[in-house]
């Protein structure tokens, strides 16, 4: 199957991008693995005709928005992000109408329609840097992740209007689960994703995007880490730092949508040029402004 994927990739002049949470075998066959920011950037740099995006739908949609002329395929189009679907374009328009002077900022985990309504987009890897560019007295509507928004507002000493969205996978983590993991591995530092709730973030040593976690693991003197994010990251952490040890806070932290991409449906995506990601041109054009504004800053 791996050989078939490589041959089809050549035939189509395709590139495979995979998120850090995808299955290990999918990460291994991909040309690039990364967090949302790294993959969005990569999508603007590749000169392949076809991008096969292994991850969830909003990520493939972002790649398409950045490359309107390229064919973007997603192996399983039902791989959504429940958090991204927690706010609709209509709901955001209603919120903006109530706050006519506010700037609307979306986490990249949002639909193209929501991005199209926003002044700025952020990822967990650049949110602090990007949000610093807003004046301290600017009114900010942050959607859809209340936790990433709350985390950045806390870091910058600001108050944002937070949409009550959240990640159901990271919601499985509790401060108690961090405490238990520390008891199992005394003295080992804990890193969690900023999509975790405040008490979980406070209980950890580091709040980092998945790309930030990989960097920390590679560059730190520490030899062991407790990891509070989706389990797929462990494959990359272990691959890049084989001499180090990584312990998940809990083995239950699986995002079912990130696991929908398999070698088989990846092979089929290339073989049958399916499932093409299409974004309405007008929406894509507006959404691109918010993504470009973010990429310019970070
Ligand atoms: P990263 O950008 O940190 O990879 O996060 C994406 C995501 O969906 C986390 O749940
Ligand atoms: Fe969405 Fe959470 Fe899955 Fe990330 S881990 S894709 S935020 S549901």
Tens digits of pLDDT across the chain (298 residues): 999 999 999 999 999 999 999 999 999 999 999 999 999 999 999 999 999 999 999 999 999 999 999 999 999 999 999 999 999 999 999 999 999 999 999 999 999 999 999 999 999 999 999 999 999 999 999 999 999 999 999 999 999 999 999 999 999 999 999 999 999 999 999 999 999 999 999 999 999 999 999 999 999 999 999 999 999 999 999 999 999 999 999 999 999 999 999 999 999 999 999 999 999 999 999 999 999 999 999 8
Q: How far is the CA of 41 from the centre of ligand 2 (A)?
A: 19
Radius of gyration, CA atoms only, the chain: 19
Q: For residue 56, which atom of ligand 1 is closest to its CA?
A: 8
Q: How far is the CA of 59 from the centre of ligand 1 (A)?
A: 10
Alpha helices in 187-280 (DSSP H): 198-203, 210-219, 233-240, 263-271
Q: How far is the CA of 254 from the centre of ligand 2 (A)?
A: 9
Residue closest by Cα to atom 2 of ligand 2: 167
Q: How far is the CA of 55 from the centre of ligand 1 (A)?
A: 10
Q: For residue 258, which atom of ligand 1 is closest to its CA?
A: 8
Residue closest by Cα to atom 1 of ligand 2: 81
Q: For residue 82, which atom of ligand 2 is closest to its CA?
A: 8
């Amino acid at each position: 199957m791996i050989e078939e994927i490589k041959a089809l990739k050549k035939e189509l002049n395709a590139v495979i991008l995979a998120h850090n949470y995808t299955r290990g075998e999918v990460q291994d066959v991909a040309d690039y693995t990364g967090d949302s920011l790294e993959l969005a950037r990569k999508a603007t740099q590749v000169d392949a005709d076809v991008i096969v995006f292994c991850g969830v739908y909003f990520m493939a949609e972002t790649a398409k928005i950045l490359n309107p002329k390229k064919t973007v395929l997603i192996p399983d189009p039902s791989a959504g992000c429940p958090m991204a679907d927690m706010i609709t374009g209509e709901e955001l328009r209603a919120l903006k109408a109530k706050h006519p002077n506010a700037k609307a900022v979306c986490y990249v985990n949002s639909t193209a329609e929501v991005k199209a309504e926003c002044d700025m987009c952020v990822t967990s890897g650049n949110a602090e840097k990007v949000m610093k560019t807003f004046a301290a007295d600017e009114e900010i509507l942050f959607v859809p992740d209340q936790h990433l928004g709350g985390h950045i507002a806390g870091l910058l000493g600001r108050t944002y209007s937070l949409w009550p969205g959240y990640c159901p996978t990271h919601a499985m983590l509790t401060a108690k689960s961090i405490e238990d993991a520390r008891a199992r591995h005394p003295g080992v530092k804990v890193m969690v994703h900023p999509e975790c709730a405040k008490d979980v973030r406070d209980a950890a040593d580091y709040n980092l995007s998945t790309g930030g976690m990989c960097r920390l693991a590679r560059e730190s003197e520490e030899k062991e880490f407790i990891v509070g994010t989706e389990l797929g990251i462990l494959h990359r952490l272990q691959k890049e730092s084989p001499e180090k040890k990584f312990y998940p806070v809990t083995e239950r932290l699986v995002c079912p949508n990130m696991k929908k991409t398999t070698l088989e449906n990846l092979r089929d995506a290339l073989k049958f040029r399916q499932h093409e990601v299409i974004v309405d041109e007008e929406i894509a054009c507006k959404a691109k402004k918010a993504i470009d504004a973010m990429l310019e800053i970070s």
